[in-house]
């Protein structure tokens, strides 16, 4: 016996239907059109056909007509397409290119994933510190990050944006795991320097205990997997995170190493917000190759009519940080 709550509908003029100031956001290339369609089809079916949040697509090149046509047909909500300004995407001129290219070559030799890629580094830096400054995102406070070729396995019956707003949440995730330390050799020391120089920004009830097992000396690598994010851009735009990003950026680690937006966002949220502002969206069945989060709670799985197998949820994988998160939050 399933009970389905009445769903809000954007065409419903009832004052009881509350929506948040939010958008669905996808960064993609023209060549990602098939994957973009698959992700969008899933999220529209499982969530957005009932909520009608607008979509924003960003690209470092103009989207072509084929891409625009194929994604626009999938929704009745507004869709907009933006080009990323060059200074938000490219390696800044003050980076020592000789040092950066030597670092890329070394990572190729060491077989580190995306180790030789400059565009991947541009993408990580853009996602860490720039996307929320793009003009198409200025009207919005909350965003849901969606990537090409991801899957949503459960009906999402409540509005996660409204939930974030009503419960003073800043950052929401579904999957947490260990980072490859070889991509971030000096990130943690830069974070420690920042925290020592700017103690006023460190949140009193922060989550550093989730990321370090020795009181902050060493990083254990746990971070939130940022290909799924529901978050508050007022936090990224605020004084504390802006100072944090600028400090990290000044170290050049996005180019001299291969700092990912996942550890940067995660450590930023852990250090600069209280632990109660970080939300694990356990009811959201989510898959990004090769990992899936599937709700293990039977009531959530049933209510969501989930198409994933809870027994294969990444939460129990040895590479997942979920058990650490649950212990930390207990």
Residue 149 or 317: the one with the smaller Cβ distance to Mn ion is 149
Residue 147 or 317: the one with the smaller Cβ distance to ligand GDP is 147
Q: How many CA atoms lie within 13 A of 94 on its CB side?
A: 7
Q: Where are the alpha helices (DSSP H) in 180-280?
A: 187-197, 208-211, 233-237, 239-251, 253-256, 261-272
206 binds, among Mn ion, ligand GDP, none (CB under 5 to 8 A by kind): none
Contact region with ligand GDP (CB under 6 A), list: 22-30, 161-169, 182-190, 251-259: 22-30
Our finding on whether 147 is near ligand GDP (CB under 6 A) is yes
Which of 44, 179, 229, 257 does the annotation list as catalytic? 229
Our finding on whether 119 is near ligand GDP (CB under 6 A) is yes
Residue 46 or 288: the one with the smaller Cβ distance to ligand GDP is 288
Site for ligand GDP in 215-234 (CB under 6 A): 227
Our finding on whether 317 is near ligand GDP (CB under 6 A) is no
**Residue 242, exposed/middle/buried by CB under 10 A (0-12, 13-18, 19+)?**
middle
Q: Let me know if 179 is a catalytic residue.
A: no
Contact region with ligand GDP (CB under 6 A), list: 24-32, 38-46, 100-108, 312-320: 24-32
Alpha-carbon gap, residue 173 to 322, rounded angstroms: 11
Chain positions contacting Mn ion, by CB under 5 A:
147, 227
Which one among 27, 100, 137, 248 touches ligand GDP, defined by CB under 6 A?
27
195 near 244, Cβ under 8 Å?
A: no
As given in the structure block, the two tokens for residue 124 are 């990580």
123 binds, among ligand GDP, Mn ion, none (CB under 5 to 8 A by kind): ligand GDP
Cis peptide upstream of residue 290 (ω within 30 degrees of 0): yes
**Nearest C-alpha neighbor of 291 from the set 269, 321, 263:** 321
Residue 119 or 168: the one with the smaller Cβ distance to ligand GDP is 119
Residue 127 or 207: the one with the smaller Cβ distance to Mn ion is 127
Tell me the closest approach of the beta carbon of residue 239 to ligand GDP, in angstroms: 27
Tell me the closest approach of the beta carbon of residue 111 to ligand GDP, in angstroms: 15
Contact region with ligand GDP (CB under 6 A), list: 62-70, 117-125, 186-194, 251-259: 117-125
Our finding on whether 29 is near ligand GDP (CB under 6 A) is yes
Residue 183 or 227: the one with the smaller Cβ distance to Mn ion is 227
319 near 178, Cβ under 8 Å?
A: yes
Integer angstrom CA distances of residue 220 from 189, 206, 226, 266, 323: 13, 16, 17, 13, 14
**25: helix, coil or strand?**
strand
Tell me the closest approach of the beta carbon of residue 28 to ligand GDP, in angstroms: 4
Q: How many CA atoms lie within 13 A of 34 on its CB side?
A: 1
Q: For the chain, how big is the Rg over CA atoms in Å?
A: 20
- DSSP secondary structure code for residue 48 in this structure: I
143 near 231, Cβ under 8 Å?
A: yes
Number of residues that bind ligand GDP (CB under 6 A): 12
Residue 225 or 301: the one with the smaller Cβ distance to ligand GDP is 225
Which one among 40, 123, 156, 306 touches ligand GDP, defined by CB under 6 A?
123
Alpha-carbon gap, residue 23 to 49, rounded angstroms: 14
Which one among 23, 39, 48, 59 touches ligand GDP, defined by CB under 6 A?
59
Task: Indicate left, alpha or beta for 13 from its phi (over 0: left) and psi (-120 to 50: alpha).
Answer: alpha
The residues of the shown chain that bind ligand GDP, judged by CB under 6 A, are 27-29, 32, 59-60, 119-120, 123, 147-148, 227
Active site residues: 229
């Amino acid at each position: 016996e399933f009970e389905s709550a009445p769903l809000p509908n954007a065409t419903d003029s009832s004052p009881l239907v509350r929506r948040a100031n939010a958008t669905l956001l996808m960064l993609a290339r023209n060549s990602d059109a098939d994957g973009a369609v698959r992700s969008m089809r899933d999220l529209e079916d499982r969530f957005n056909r009932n909520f009608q949040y607008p979509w924003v697509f960003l690209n470092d090149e103009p989207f072509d007509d084929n891409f625009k046509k194929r994604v626009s047909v999938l929704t009745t909500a507004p869709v907009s397409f933006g080009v990323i300004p060059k200074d938000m995407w490219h390696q800044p001129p003050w980076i020592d290119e000789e040092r950066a290219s030597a670092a890329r070559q070394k990572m190729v030799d060491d077989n580190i994933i995306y180790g030789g890629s400059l565009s991947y580094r541009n993408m990580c830096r853009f996602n860490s510190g720039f996307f929320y400054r793009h003009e198409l995102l200025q009207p919005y406070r909350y965003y849901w990050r969606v990537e090409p070729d991801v899957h949503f396995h459960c009906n999402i019956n409540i509005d996660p944006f409204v939930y974030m707003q009503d419960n003073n949440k800043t950052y929401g995730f579904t999957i947490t795991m260990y980072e490859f330390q070889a991509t971030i050799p000096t990130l943690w020391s830069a974070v420690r320097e920042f925290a020592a120089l700017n103690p006023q920004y460190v949140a009193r009830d922060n989550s550093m205990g989730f990321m370090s097992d020795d009181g902050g000396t060493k990083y254990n690598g746990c971070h939130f997997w940022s290909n799924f994010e529901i978050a508050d851009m007022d936090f990224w735009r605020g004084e504390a995170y802006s100072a944090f990003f600028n400090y990290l950026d000044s170290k050049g680690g996005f180019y001299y190493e291969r700092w990912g937006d996942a550890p940067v966002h995660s450590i930023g949220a852990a250090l600069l917000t209280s632990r109660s502002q970080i939300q694990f969206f356990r009811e959201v069945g989510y898959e990004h190759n090769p990992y899936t989060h599937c709700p293990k709670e039977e009531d959530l799985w049933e209510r969501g009519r989930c198409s994933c197998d809870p027994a294969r949820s990444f939460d129990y994988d040895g590479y997942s940080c979920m058990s650490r998160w649950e212990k930390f939050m207990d």
